[in-house]
Structure 1
Amino acid sequence: MMKNILNTLAGLLFFSGLNAQVGIGTSNPSPSAVLELNSTNKGFLMNTVSLISISSASPLGSHTEGIWVYNTATAGTAPDNVIPGLYYNDGTKWVLMSISNDMPKIGDIKSSMTNADHNGWYLLNGRNTSTLSANARTSAISLGYPSAIPNMADRIIKGKNTSEAMAATGGTNSYSLLQANLPNLTFTGTTSTDGTHSHTYTNRGVNYWNYNAGSLATTRTVNTETRTTGSSGDHSHTFSVPSGGTNAPFSQYPKHMVVQYFIYLGK
């Protein structure tokens, strides 16, 4: 077996030395290619390695621009973590090959109509990180959530200001109109306290007349009595105006559509 391999390699080297191209599966390689593979039922198997991070050359001795490998490991800490896939080296780091510019990164957040975890996206429902997969748990811890991931239930996303902690929660779904929220307006009024004076109040009530329209009795409101306060001594009066309110809270939610929020923690 070893003899056959050596003979094959020797033949390829001899052929490449004569023609400057090597063809595997073809006797007529392209003159523009150093190596051409040709098969109708087989593919090219890239060498596989276990990378440890984007910034580390390991298991290679150093970063070498142009080297391609297929990584089989999920390792490292965001944002230098690696996932299984095809990588090339740009001379300073490993770069994951992707045909999509929208490939998610650890910590990305999206909204979706999906209700369950999928493809490395985890529902932000406040669950303990101990319930996540090993890789997702590592990513969550690297993002600063060692105990639990945030809970987005009944919340909207707010941009961080300089004094807030990432993933801090706040606000309320409703608020009450308090006295401090009212305009600073004062109603004033006084009665005269000069001299003796009296006040008259006419009470109005219901007086039933002896008249029927079918089976219904007819009523009429009339003045029933007049009352007058005593007139001795100076005195003043106060009055209050009840609002009739019940302190019911206002809803702060505008018209909206309900979705789920997910965080990408890797596959």
Structure 2
Amino acid sequence: MKTKFLYTCIAAFLFVAHKAQVGIGTSNPSNSAVLELSSTNKGFLMNTVALTSATSAAPFGSNVEGMWVYNTATAGTSPNNVIPGLYYNDGTKWVLMSINNDLPKIGDLKSSMATTDHDGWFLLNGRNISTLPSISQTNAAALGFSTTLPSSSDRILKGKNTSEAVSSTGGSNSFSIAQANLPNVNITGTTASSGAHTHSYTNRGVNYWNYNAGSINTTRTIDTEVRTTAAAGDHSHTISVASGGTNTAITQYPKHLVVQYFIYLGK
């Protein structure tokens, strides 16, 4: 038996050395191929491994340029996390083979008509991250969410400025108008007809003068004074014009379309 096996190995070696091409499923492999597979009802099954990170060679001892594997694990932390798929090694790291340039990255946001978590996308509803799958908890913590996810409910997304932290919340969907917000206009009105006040009047025909014109005594009246009522009637007036308002806050919603916001935390 051992002799037969040895002969088979020698024959195979001599055939490969002579032919320089190997065909599986074909007796006439291409001269341009070292190995050609041929089948109408079978495929090529790539070896499967569980990678730990794009920057780690594990489970291999070192990075080997040109190595191809199919990864079955979801592992690592962004941006070096890995997901199930076909990877090749470029000599320093594992690179996911994909023609899709829009693959989501950990921390990506999207709006959607979907109402529940899906495909590694998690609804931003303020939930505790302990309710997420373990890999998603790890990725959420790496983004700085140590306790809860942010809540996007009833909020408009805003880019941060230099003094704000990512995921901080603020603002209000309503406001009250203060006096400083009003335009500078004069509001006029008329006081009521009642109320004490001063009056000026002219005293007419109350002073009489007697004099003699020759042998005849004569009197005459003259207009003499302009007078004002007594100081007790002197006063000022104030006026107030009621707006009729009740300080009801204004609901500040521009025209909008209601959607849900999701964050990608892996799967």
TM-score by structure 1 length?
0.77
What is the aligned partner in structure 2 of residue 225 from structure 1?
none
Flag the 1:241–1:11 CA change in 2: closer, same or farther, 3 A: farther
Q: More displaced, 159-168 or 233-242? A: 233-242
- 2:56 equivalent in structure 1: 56
Unaligned runs of 5+ in 2: 192-196, 201-228
Counterpart in 2 of 1:32? 32
- Pick closer, same or farther for the CA change 1:180–1:68 going to 2, 3 Å: same
SS at match of 1:44: coil
Partners in 1 of 2:116 and 2:4 — Cα distance?
Answer: 54
Q: 1:250 Cα deviation (Å)?
A: 2.1
Q: How does 1:169-180 map to 2 (within 5 A)?
A: 169-180=169-180
Q: Contact 2:63–2:89 at 8 Å: present in 1 too? A: yes
Label 1:10 to 1:51 Cα distance change in 2 as closer, same or farther (>3 A). Answer: farther
Residue identity matched to 2:65: E
Match for 1:196 among 192, 195, 198? 198
Deviations 1:150-194 (A, max 9, x none): 1111111111211111111111111111123224567799x9xxx
Q: Given the superposition, is the C-alpha separation of residues 4 and 50 from structure 1 closer, same or farther in structure 2, using an over 3 Å criterion?
A: farther
Q: CA deviation at 1:129?
A: 0.9
What is aligned with 1:260?
Answer: 260
Q: 1:181 to 1:85 in 2, by over 3 A?
A: same
Between the aligned residues of both structures, percent identity stands at 68
Partner of 2:90: 90
Separation in 2 of the partners of 1:5 and 1:235? 129
Please tell me the residue identity of whatever aligns with 1:103: L
Judging changes above 3 Å, is the alpha-carbon distance between structure 1 residues 10 and 121 closer, same or farther for their aligned structure 2 residues?
A: farther
**What's the secondary structure of 2:74's corresponding residue?**
coil
2: CA distance, partners of 1:176 / 1:263? 34
- Residues 11-56 of structure 1 deviation map (CA, whole Å, 9 limit, x = unaligned): 5543332122111111111122111111122221112222111111
Q: Does 1:100 align with 2:83?
A: no
Shift of 1:6: 7.3
Alpha-carbon distance in 2 for matches of 1:98, 1:188: 74
Check whether the contact 1:21–1:35 (CA below 8 A) recurs between aligned residues: yes
**Pairs aligned (count):** 232
Question: What secondary structure sits across from 1:65 in the alignment?
Answer: coil
Q: When the two structures are superposed, what TM-score results if normalisation uses the length of structure 2?
A: 0.77
| Matched residue, 1:77 | 77
The aligned residue for residue 224 of structure 1 is none
Q: Is the 8 A contact 1:174 1:252 kept in 2?
A: yes
Contact persistence 2:187–2:241 (CA under 8 A):
no
Q: Distance in 1 between matches of 2:259 and 2:167?
A: 19
- The SS at the match of 2:122 is strand
Q: Could you give the per-residue CA deviations for residues 171-221 of structure 1, whole angstroms, max 9, x where no partner exists? A: 1111111123224567799x9xxx9328xxxxxxxxxxxxxxxxxxxxxxx
- 1:145 offset after TM fit, Å? 1.0
Instruction: Quote the Cα distance in structure 1 between the aligned partners of 2:56 and 2:89.
Output: 11
1:141 to 2:108 alignment? no
Q: Give the secondary structure class of the aligned counterpart of 2:65.
A: coil
**CA pair 58-174 structure 1, distance change in 2 beyond 3 A:** same
In structure 2, the CA distance between the partners of 1:86 and 1:143, relative to structure 1 (3 Å rule), is: same
Matched residue, 1:217: none
- The alpha-carbon deviation at position 64 of structure 1 amounts to 2.4
Aligned to 2:206: none
Provide the rounded CA distance (Å) in 2 between the counterparts of 1:237 and 1:18: 120
Kept in 2, the 8 Å contact 1:12–1:22? The answer is: no
- By how many angstroms is 1:76 displaced? 1.1
Contact 1:64/1:89 (<8 A) preserved: yes
